[in-house]
Chain A
């Protein structure tokens, strides 16, 4: 088990390297010049050229990459071109809102999706099943910003139950923090409810045909116990997989939601950094997202062993 964990943790390194090279090249090969962005509209081409030398952008690409990597190995992620602050500090500032939003979303999604999916599987073919699956198709198809603006319109503007936008740090009180997250998390959770409910239904349906479900019924267990104790736990592995992937997508995919609800998290930071061609910030964020992705996958693998005694590493 420990050797497995070590091996998997080390596998982060090649993943990061590949991701970094690709991002490094893509940023520099696509049109747009950070120096021109920083210098502003009134700058002359001499100003811009001077700025490019200062930022080290005139060096050949391999040299730039070498410098970046050697700084990185010393724990230096570089400074933002724009804000002149260390990238690492800017990421640290954005982590709390983003992680809060992601966790809030996934908790809402799981609490709704898993029971819905199980119910749909149990009532397979009935109108309840069709209704749930119909909702799931809609949930997949409607973009998150549409849902977001709809929620704001009804719950904030019309009913005035929730604030329109904004974020309150957790240290200023859990109540206010949670209160302000409910709408954005609901908007964001819709697609994940659709995804997880669908997976749960498929997985539980499959398990319901297994011999041990028949055994459980032959023992005289009531349906609810057959479903919850025997079926759901056996169906859990694919469900956990999809939830893990959902979390990974969430952390890196909250961009739209954060801009709709103006939450100062990593999503907004990413958006700004890409628009401003703020190379060090984009690279720093990508490193973070890759590490999160690999670690979540590792966590899922560990959870498998808790769910299913047959899985051992």
Chain B
């Protein structure tokens, strides 16, 4: 019989080699940690730190190119590194379950959710069809999904992201495994949904005394959930300790750097924008409706309703909201990527909402966007220089002029101007986003729209890019529209914040006041759901 305090998972000196020609020899080097029953251990690190590799090696789901070269992984004392494929299959879902990052893609789209959970029981138990069905329905209830019968029959696409993640959790925990591995399970979810899912994981694991290995890059989630933390850097554990110890009094310089990069929830003091600064962008009762026609009826989705905002020169307006709130719709209307249904948009004094298409060309230049994913927003087959000068040359600048300005801009965004001849894949994510910023600035815009521009970046890189954006805005006296779902980020860069929900602006005001004293119910709920709010992170 297993002692109740013996670790359920014990990883010792684990080393996993990378294929040749990778950027380092090992994905993971001499990693050791334990997960005790009923404990949540967070593995935290930036992208490429090897945290997911560790999770997959425990499950025996490593990609073929990766090999465990040293060390051991023990599940309740049983060595998994030498277990047969057959034995690993028996252990999966019975003694160790796993949930993944993307609930949108982790479920089979052509199978009913209930059948997907049922499959676990079919494989690992000898229960009758009726017993299995009852057990699945019970489990769906335990993850607090409404109307379990209907959930059983639903296909994944009929459920929301949070609901799908609940189905995944039900699937992973239905056989009450002793270990749950969660690989960034809330990263793709909205903040309120994230709070619910974290709460659910906490509830189920403490009921069943499940040991949890929780992989995340998000220190807020760590603060909210974990008992102990292991910090990974380039495949090595640099610090391991209790949550309060690591977050409040980190010892390793890397941990210190990471934690101090987490943006604060409280907005810093900012110099006020003078009231006579010219208004660059103003919208009045902006509406965007989408209509779909089926056989005999018309469905109208009101993606944005009555949105009235204003941005002055040198000012940053943040639009904050969850997915589906309409924040990106507003950004697209303003940048004229889509046509608004109703309302007015003034850009530098011109009413552009109903402008004929041929007159738009000159306006396009005044508004430039930085997109979310720096990996996909640059053409991989053109050098970054070509990408940067393409816009200005379309507007008649000579190649020499445009190239000279591009070199200036590269210096402005702290990149080597000689990098203009290189291709996007030769840059890291943070560097690419700097290139995207340079590309936007090359058009000499008056309004810079950042659509979740730092959401895909690691926290330390995020901090640098935010600082850069702020510096550029002040130096070039730009107006900036900052779209984000991240309250901490909004608090750090915005002068004024508009909170959107279901297509409407529910609260609009100066960041300082809005964050310290939210008025609207939705804003309050949003702030309350943010993980890690009440935790004091160490600061340099």
Q: Point out residues on A near B: beta carbons under 8 Å.
A: 3, 210-212, 214-222, 225, 229-230, 233-234, 307-310
Alpha-carbon distance A220/B60, docked complex (angstroms): 10
CA distance A62 to B124 in the complex (A): 74
User: Nearest 3 A-B pairs (CB), nearest first?
Assistant: A220-B92, A211-B105, A212-B108
Question: CB distance A215 to B106 under 8 Å?
Answer: yes
The reply to whether B61 and A214 contact each other, CB–CB distance below 8 Å, is: yes
- Asked if residues A309 and B93 are in contact (CB atoms below 8 Å), the reply is no
Find chain A residues with CB under 8 A from B295 CB.
3
CB-defined contacts of A309 to chain B, threshold 8 Å: 109-110, 155, 157
A229 CB contacts on chain B under 8 angstroms = 119
**CB distance A219 to B171 under 8 Å?**
yes
Q: Does B269 contact A (CB under 8 A)?
A: no
- Is B89's CB under 8 angstroms from A221's CB? yes
B168 touches A215 (CB 8 A): yes
Given contact pairs A212-B105, A307-B110, A219 touches B92 in the complex (Cβ within 8 A): yes
Q: In residues 77-123 of chain B, which contact A (Cβ within 8 Å)?
A: 88-94, 97-98, 100, 102, 105-111, 119-120, 123
Q: Whole-angstrom distance from the CB of B89 to the nearest CB of chain A?
A: 4
Which residues of B have CB within 8 Å of A217? 61, 92
Neighbouring B residues of A221 by C-beta, 8 Å: 89, 119, 123
Chain A's nearest CB lies how many Å from the CB of B146? 20
A216 CA to B171 CA, complexed, in Å? 10
Residues of B bordering A, CB below 8 Å: 59, 61, 88-94, 97-98, 100, 102, 105-111, 119-120, 123-124, 155, 157, 168, 171-172, 295
Q: Which residues of B contact A230 (CB under 8 A)?
A: 108, 111
> Please, how many angstroms separate the alpha-carbon atoms of A272 and B102 in the complex?
60
**List of B residues within 8 angstroms of A218 by Cβ:** 59, 61, 92-93, 97-98, 100, 172
Question: How many angstroms between the C-alpha atoms of A219 and B109 in the bound complex?
Answer: 16
A216 to B117 alpha-carbon distance, docked (Å): 10
A218 to B59, CA, bound (A): 7
Q: How far is the CB of B114 from chain A (nearest CB, A)?
A: 13
Cross-chain contact of A210 among B90, B105, B168 (Cβ < 8 A): B105
CA gap between A149 and B123 in the complex, in Å: 50
Contacts A220-B91, A220-B124, A310-B157 given; does A234 touch B108 at CB 8 Å: yes
- Give the CA-CA distance A233 to B111 in the complex, in Å: 9
Closest A residue to B155 by beta carbon equals A309
Cβ-defined contact, B109 with A308, below 8 A:
yes
CB-contact partner of B93 in A210, A214, A220, A310, under 8 A: A220
Contacts of B98 in A (CB 8 A): 218
The smallest C-beta distance from A305 to any residue of chain B, in angstroms, reads 11
Specify which of A211, A225, A233 is in contact with B110 (CB 8 Å cutoff).
Answer: A233
